[in-house]
Structure 1
Amino acid sequence: MGSFALTASGAALAAVESVVPALVKDRFASRLFAKDSTLWGVDAEHEASIRLGWIDLFEGSRALLPEIAGLRSDLNAEGVDRIVLCGMGGSSLAPEVITKEAGVELVVLDATDPEQVRTALEDLQRTAIVVSSKSGSTIETDSQRRLFEQAFTDAGIDAASRIVVVTDPGSPLEEAARKAGYRKVFNANPEVGGRYSALTAFGLVPSGLAGADIETLLDDAEESAEFLGDDDVDNVGLQLGAVLGGTAPLRDKIVFADAGSGLPGFTDWVEQLIAESTGKLGTGLLPVVASTGAPELAAVADDVMPVILAPFNEAPFDEAPSDESGGESGGESGGGLMTGTGVTVSGTLGSQMFVWEYAVAVAGRLLGINPFDQPDVEAAKKAARGLLEAQPEPTAAAFVDGAVEIRGEAGLLGSSSTLDEALRALLAALPANGYLSVQAYLDRLRQFALEEIRSPLAALTGRPVTFGWGPRFLHSTGQYHKGGSPIGVYLQITGANSTDLPIKDRPFTFGQLISAQAAGDAQVLADHGRPVLRLHLTDRAAGVAQLRDAISSLAASGQGHHENG
């Protein structure tokens, strides 16, 4: 179909065959394209009625193209060719993947770690920033805007001439931006939620200013959309939605592996789309960003759905006969990556984005939830604000081991007195059907090697492991952690700052902000009864090395393993 292809096998194929005909009979596709807000039940009807603008956004989005191109040309003529994006969640993840796929530079600042934020302040003479926020009140984005405004002024640059804003009409940010005389204000469609905004001003403005081909992106998405309104069993959006939300029993851990799709960063974008859309009311889908050699795919548990992102127009595995719905025939056994349960998808970036948005809306109906709200995201924000206002002393560590301070509930830590023992205690709390979430509130540019602990932990536990950088994951998987199935255990990692940055007209620094965000989220998780082990690295390099050694030690001793099944 157009520039998107899907192949399903095993339980994924069974879901397609059993669920799609019912969706066709219900006329889900045509009703969605008619913006029928009743598709997700009475409780979701109001929210859905103001969140379906993504279905037919193409004309409005195309109208932005000349404005974006003109601004880019004007900035380049002034020697400004470095774009920094200040945004969180959908506002940052979509432009990140769009520009990566295009091979153009965009500095994505979705961080509050002072060391990472300081890096974004380089090359101010050739820099403009895009401040991207639907509400205009996102604390990270507001803090970054204040920092750059001060930095531009201190460097003798007219700050207003270097600040571009993307926001909803009538937001506090729009009012402030117009009053301050910022270079340009782009209004986004208010009837599109943040995680569905990839093909609106939020995705297009920063990507276009950075030099990405956003016209082709829209062309590819619109080509796919032409087929998704059909009430037909061949509708790939219905098929993918059935794979996500229609397996029986539900395979609620969606493990992604990129097999050379050519879309770097796409899994981070789709992770946010799925987790924030579905993780609520004690249910939902947990996206797990992994690799083709990940332990979760070497032995697929019966609650895991593998999703392989393949190169478009290339077969990622030995071809098998296909059924009429486009799914691969075959059972649970046999050679090759996808001869058991799983789905392989491929396509151009615009097509992938639109089809996945559509499929998650389908999954929301199948799961019986509203895919357009995020009721639990605000809890961590509120807790962080409370800690910033109160400025309490840090909670004393339960104990210190080398470069790591260990904190956790007494019921979790028990008699632990070493890092190894604390990790062992956390893994012992992992349910047989659970998952481990690693949350690193550090500089993801300098401490990127920490991501390498994900796969060993998955091998050690025999369970899916997610890895998120704070605070960006709070606007993504953070919703699932609080609102989804209560089966997670959480490993939070923070680090001492060798530098800090003040925030103009705010009584806190970036160092204090990230500390409050980490402590606030841990507090909310604990209030939900979730086991949280907090590790604070008093020396980042030494602490990361110590943690990696501890995980290797546990693996060597065989601690923490759960049998799949």
Structure 2
Amino acid sequence: MTGGPVQVEVSGVVVDGSQDALVRLVEAQVASRTSAGDAEVWGPEAREEAAVRLAWTTLPATSRPLVDELVALRDELRAEGVDRVVLAGMGGSSLAPEVVCAAHGVPLVTLDATDPGQVRAALVELDRTVVVVSSKSGGTVETDSQRRIFEEAFTAAGIDPRTRVVVVTDPGSPLETVATEAGYRAVFRADPHVGGRYSALTAFGLVPSALAGADVGQLLDEALSAVEVCATDSPDNPALRLGAAFAGVQGSTGLRDKLVLVDSPGSGLPGLGNWVEQLVAESTGKQGHGVLPVVVGPDAPEATGLLPDAVRVAVSAGSADASAAGDVEVRVTGPLGAQMLVWEHATAAAGFLLGINPFDQPDVETAKNAARGLLEKTPEPTPARFVDRGVDVVADEDTLPEGTAEDLDAAVDATLAHLDATDGRGYVAVMVYLDRLAHADLAQVRDALAARTGRPVTFGWGPRFLHSTGQLHKGGPAVGVFVQVVGDLAEDLDVPGREFSLGRLKAAQAAGDADVLRGLGRPVLTLRVDGTDGLAAVAASLGRSAADPVAGAR
């Protein structure tokens, strides 16, 4: 056990396996140097980026002046009958507020989607709605589209949109210019020396959470209690222990580079795994290295069976139900604010151990550029290899050689068989471009696929995952097998002032991501559905239990 507000308990093979890594971190003074803003920690190639990305270490104190301002704005809005908060944001702009609000038991509508049905479903109760438009760069296409759609909806409802839009962005961004010229209700300028996925304790995390009713003062107090211990070069530093545990343990197949995050009911920190997923995946997945976070429930195959290349971690706020996580190697216990700071320091330490820059995300940009190019050209959809049960099956020759499969089930089997070439280190990524609220049941195929293949399986909703595991898919170890599910199951929605609709945007994002993955030689199977029958067929095919596991199952 460690001291301080966050306890990190390590057991099993991870105890001895992480000792060398922990000694390296202590001897290199990674904790104190990170806290002091030393950009040299991660080597010369990371120096320039790190020099402008380390302000997150002081946020528990520097963000404090925001609290009173946010409480005043929340009270002002509620006095006007405005108590429903919609957050238009992606990745680091949405995941932290989602976790904070869930932990504090307050409602927040998170709109991190380009699916027309999901966006349209948020256009309700406008008389009591304020929209927080959150984008660090100020040019995020999803967020800009959502802002435009809500502006039009407010106007149509007889509501002045200027009174109902709150903006969070970096100083000097295009969004700041738009917000200032439009005269929006409030504009919060975040610290530009904090990267998106490390921004939980900046205005990006605090503004929507506070307006929704979360006690962000308490959150900062919790984080402040962990500042000193996170800066200490000691084996008892919980952040160093955690970073060494998930990025420094060698197993029978090499580095244990899968981080199984067991999200248990009763943990007191619902959804924290989704925030950690982005933080770790986008920070470590590059230059052929990376740690793949796999968020699962306590009964998932990855949580109940030991994988030779994975470390299982359970998080909790310290509740009595934390033991529901089962047999894990690492337990992290402590309040949310303190855990966020500890996980950030642990991820920075993991970058040191892996020899990579934990603050850039080069492959996220490649997918964005590919989507932008497809959106501008609007090419015809890639022809299907064949159609089965209302599903267009799309794959290149490398993924699905001619004659390999003539029906949906055979195509899925043949794609999963690529795991055989990964020497027991592979994983399956299911990437779904559909309304994640209306079709949430589809996520149940994750456990079935994990049981069937004997390998870790991630399940991501697009384009949400592009700002998270999308970086690791392309920049991390080339051992992933990818199944993409796309479809138009809702009436399209135009984006005011743009030449594209949400449906076209979503299609371009899916196609761009698949093109980049295929260009890197990754196996990608795309399943296109245009109705509920096709979606049911996909769910049945992915979720079936094969009598004989596919080739390569471990």
Class of the TM-score when normalised by the shorter of the 2 chains: over 0.9
The answer to whether 1:551 aligns with 2:551 is no
Aligned amino acid, residue 546 of structure 1:
A
What's the CA shift for 1:552?
4.6
Deviation of the 1:77 alpha carbon = 1.1
Partner of 2:359: 372
Partner in structure 2 of residue 443 of structure 1: 435
Q: Say yes or no: does 1:428 pair with 2:430.
A: no
Q: Shift in Å at residue 205 of structure 1?
A: 0.1
CA distance in 1: counterparts of 2:319 and 2:326, whole angstroms:
18
Aligned-residue sequence identity (percent) comes to: 54
Q: CA deviation at 1:545?
A: 2.0
How do 1:69-84 residues align onto structure 2 when only pairs under 5 Å count? 69-84=71-86
Q: What whole-Å deviation, never above 9, does each CA across 1:357-397 have from its counterpart, x for those lacking one?
A: 00000000000000000011011111111111111111221
Per mean C-alpha deviation after superposition, the further-off stretch among 102-111 and 490-499 is 490-499
**Any unmatched runs of 5+ in structure 2?**
none
Assess if the C-alpha contact under 8 Å between 2:113 and 2:464 holds in 1: yes
> Could you tell me which of 480, 490, 498 is aligned with 1:488?
480
In structure 2, relative to structure 1, the CA distance for the partners of 1:102 and 1:561 (3 Å cut) is farther
Residue 525 of structure 2: aligned partner = 533
Q: Does 1:253 align with 2:258?
A: yes
For 1:301 and 1:458, locate their aligned partners in 2 and report how far apart those are by CA, in whole Å. 11
Give SS of 1:261's match: coil
Instruction: Indicate conservation of the 8 Å contact 2:433/2:487, yes or no.
Output: yes
Matches of residues 363-402 of structure 1 in structure 2 within 5 Å? 363-402=350-389
**CA distance, structure 1, for counterparts of residue 131 and residue 317 of structure 2:** 33
Rate the CA distance shift 1:19–1:411 in 2: closer, same or farther, 3 A: closer
Contact residue 434 and residue 463 of structure 1 kept, 8 A:
yes
The 1:221/1:552 distance shift into structure 2, 3 A limit, reads: closer
2:98 matches 1:106: no
CA contact (8 A) 1:463 1:562 kept: no
Residues 61 and 220, structure 2, Cα contact 8 Å, conserved in 1? no
Paired residue for 1:183? 185
User: How many residues are paired up?
Assistant: 543
Q: What is the DSSP-based 3-state SS (H/G/I as helix, E as strand, rest coil) of the residue aligned with 2:44?
A: coil
Q: Is the 8 A contact 1:460 1:561 kept in 2?
A: no
> Are residues 1:507 and 2:499 paired?
yes
> Could you report, residue by residue, the CA deviation over 1:183-220 in whole angstroms, capped at 9, with x for unpaired residues?
10001010000000001100000000000011111101
Deviations 1:141-195 (A, max 9, x none): 0100111111111111111111100001111111111011011000101000000
Aligned with 2:255: secondary structure?
A: coil
Q: Is the 8 A contact 1:497 1:511 kept in 2?
A: no
What stretches of structure 1 of length at least 5 have no aligned partner?
Answer: 319-335
Cα 1:46/1:231, change in 2 over 3 Å: same
Deviations 1:469-492 (A, max 9, x none): 000000000000010001101000
**Mean CA deviation greater in 439-448 or 50-59:** 50-59
Check the 8 A contact 1:3/1:224 in 2, yes or no. Answer: yes
**Separation in structure 1 between the aligned mates of residue 90 and residue 500 of structure 2, nearest angstrom:** 20
Moved more, 464-473 or 170-179: 170-179
Identify the residue that residue 43 of structure 1 maps to in structure 2: 45
In the alignment, is the contact (CA less than 8 A) between 2:445 and 2:543 conserved in 1? no
Q: Distance in 1 between matches of 2:470 and 2:331?
A: 26
Q: Determine if contact 2:452/2:546 at 8 Å carries over to the other structure.
A: no
Alpha-carbon distance in 2 for matches of 1:538, 1:504: 25
Q: Which residue does the alignment assign to 2:212? A: 210
**Counterpart selection for 1:301 from 270, 295, 307:** 307
Task: Output the CA distance in 2 between the equivalents of 1:50 and 1:310.
Answer: 32
Q: CA deviation at 1:317?
A: 5.1
Q: What's the counterpart of residue 64 of structure 2?
A: 62
Deviation at 1:58, TM superposition (A): 2.4
Given that residues 471 and 517 in structure 1 are in contact (C-alpha distance below 8 angstroms), is that contact kept between their aligned partners in structure 2?
yes
Cα distance in structure 2, aligned partners of 1:558 and 1:184: 59
**Structure 1 segment 467-486 matched on structure 2, within 5 A:** 467-486=459-478
Q: 1:163 to 1:349 in 2, by over 3 A?
A: same
Structure 1 Cα separation of the partners of residues 242 and 138 of structure 2: 34
Compute the displacement of 1:314 (Å).
4.4
Partner of 1:418: 407
* Matches of 1:272 and 1:233, distance apart in 2: 26
Deviation, 1:563, is: 4.7
User: By how many angstroms is 1:262 displaced?
Assistant: 1.2
CA distance in 1 between partners of 2:488 and 2:352 (Å): 44
Question: SS of 2:528's equivalent?
Answer: strand
- Measure, in 2, the Cα distance between the counterparts of 1:266 and 1:317: 17
Equivalent of 2:273 in 267, 270, 274: 267
For the residues of structure 2 that align with 1:526 and 1:556, how far apart are their CA atoms?
Answer: 27
Deviation at 1:275, TM superposition (A): 0.3
Please give the secondary structure, in 1, of the residue aligned with 2:425. coil
d(CA) in 2 for partners of 1:261, 1:54: 26
Superposed CA RMSD in Å reads: 1.5
Question: SS in structure 2 opposite 1:94?
Answer: helix
Amino acid in structure 2 at the alignment position of 1:550: S
Question: Structure 1 CA distance, aligned partners of 2:213 and 2:174?
Answer: 29
Separation of aligned partners in 1, 2:111 and 2:72: 24
Mapped pair 1:403 → 2:390: yes
Alpha-carbon shift at residue 129 of structure 1 (Å): 0.4
Distance 1:411 1:49 in 2: 42
Instruction: Name the SS of the counterpart of 1:376 in structure 2.
Output: helix
Give the SS at the match of 1:262. coil
Q: Is the 8 A contact 2:449 2:543 kept in 1?
A: no
- Cα distance in 1, alignment partners of residues 322 and 151 from structure 2: 48
Between 407-416 and 470-479, the greater mean CA deviation after superposition: 407-416
SS in 2 for 1:373: coil
What is the one-letter code of the residue matched to 2:262? Answer: A
Q: How big is the shift at 1:412? A: 2.2
Q: Give the TM-score normalised by structure 2.
A: 0.95
Post-superposition CA distance 1:20-60 (Å, at most 9, x none): 23322222221111111100000001100100000111232
Q: Tell me, in whole angstroms, the C-alpha distance in 2 between the residues paired with 1:556 and 1:21.
A: 45
Correspondent of 2:449 among 454, 457, 481? 457
